[in-house]
Amino acid sequence: MRRTGIVAGIGSAVPARTVTNHQLAERMDTSDQWIRSRTGIAERRVIEPGTSTSDLAVEAGLRALRSAGTDRVDAVVLATATPDHQVPATAPAVAARLDLPGVPAYDVSAVCTGFLYGLSSGLGLIAQEAADTVLVIGADAFTTIIDPTDRNTAPIFGDGAGAVVLRAGAPDEPGAVAAMELGSDGRLAELIIVPAGGSRQRSSGVPAAPGDHFMLMQGREVFKHAVVRMTDSARSVLARAGWPLDSVDLLVGHQANARILHSVAEQLGLPPERAFLNLDRYGNTAAGSIPLALHEAAATGVLKPGDRVLTAAFGAGTTWGAACLTWPDVSAG
């Protein structure tokens, strides 16, 4: 039988500090009512100065390892778009802090679809027999690249991380990904972009202005593409897995906007209550979003062993993807 990766543990981490909509409204022209009604977000978590993405990644990784009942894995994949440094990648530092020096460790950059790309990479390592166990972490600290006074982005993003441990197993086991799809369209790269900091800005020879290091987002356009791509990918993975729509117990989509998730559920024909939401408390945590939501859904009993879960994401790049799996009997702490 084909060898694949099985979800064997899950964990997450968020910073302690909460910033409410009311606090944001004190420093920009917005309101709690606008943010709640247009996004579903009430508050988000923000890292303290002196901490960074790797701190969240290590904490989520440790919890996932504990949930899997192990302290060893053969590889670490870190999905992030807010690495600690441009060079080197953040994953080796995370692996070292998890007391895993020597294992292959690398970053995957697909922004809000990052966790699904990272998951696919981890599954590939197992399928190739390059690893028997892989820690896949999604972690981002977008508040470090957001203009704190920009009402187009500051209300939307928060910091957070989630992680899963994959172990080698068979495709018919609970916890095996039944189908996955990934996609990209770089023609839409300008929709969500940080202009400075990369080789393009430097090669232009024009010094970056301070604001060029902040992320810019054309929210309305992103919204439209997100609904279409997430819905199409979700339909496609359900067809490939041979799962009828009414067999899906929970849609755990990328937590960008409650209206996006409700639109995806509606387009698919799923009742809105089957779309899991925790963005009210965390906002959009980019690559952290899906594993953070899966962990919370499992820890609170909303997602139970044996449930069929569908996940889908859309992000900068642009990138998108979906995956479906039967939830395994893992400890969610």
List the catalytic residues: 112, 254, 284
Alpha carbon distance, N-terminus to C-terminus of the chain: 32
Q: Is 184 in the site for ligand ACO (CB under 6 A)?
A: no
Q: Is 156 in the site for ligand ACO (CB under 6 A)?
A: yes
Looking only at the bridges linking them, the beta strands covering 216-217 and 192-193 are antiparallel
Distance CA(316)–CA(313), nearest Å, equals 10
What lies within 8 Å, CB to CB, of 332 at 6+ separation is 10, 67, 295, 298, 299
> Which residue of 19, 98, 134, 260 would you call a contact of ligand ACO, by CB under 6 A?
260
**Residue of this chain nearest to ligand ACO (CB atom):** 219
Distance CA(274)–CA(256), nearest Å, equals 16
Q: Is 257 in the site for ligand ACO (CB under 6 A)?
A: yes
Q: Is 261 in the site for ligand ACO (CB under 6 A)?
A: no
Closest CB 203 distance from ligand ACO, rounded Å: 24
Burial 213-243 (b: 16+ CB within 10 A, else e): ebbbbeeeebbebbbebbbbbbbbbbeebeb
Region from 123-131, 215-223, 267-275, 290-298 binding ligand ACO, contact rule CB under 6 A? 215-223
Contact 85, 112 (CB under 8 A): no
Q: Using CB atoms within 10 A of its CB, is residue 85 exposed (0-12), middle (13-18) or buried (19+)?
A: exposed
Count of other CB atoms within 10 angstroms of residue 280: 15
Q: Is 177 in the site for ligand ACO (CB under 6 A)?
A: no
Region from 9-17, 122-130, 161-169, 253-261 binding ligand ACO, contact rule CB under 6 A? 253-261
Compare residues 4 and 257 and give the one whose CB is closer to ligand ACO: 257
Compare residues 155 and 288 and give the one whose CB is closer to ligand ACO: 155
Closest CB 260 distance from ligand ACO, rounded Å: 6
What residue ranges bind ligand ACO (CB under 6 A)? 30, 34-35, 38-39, 111-112, 151-152, 155-156, 192, 219-220, 222-223, 226, 256-257, 260, 284, 286, 315-316
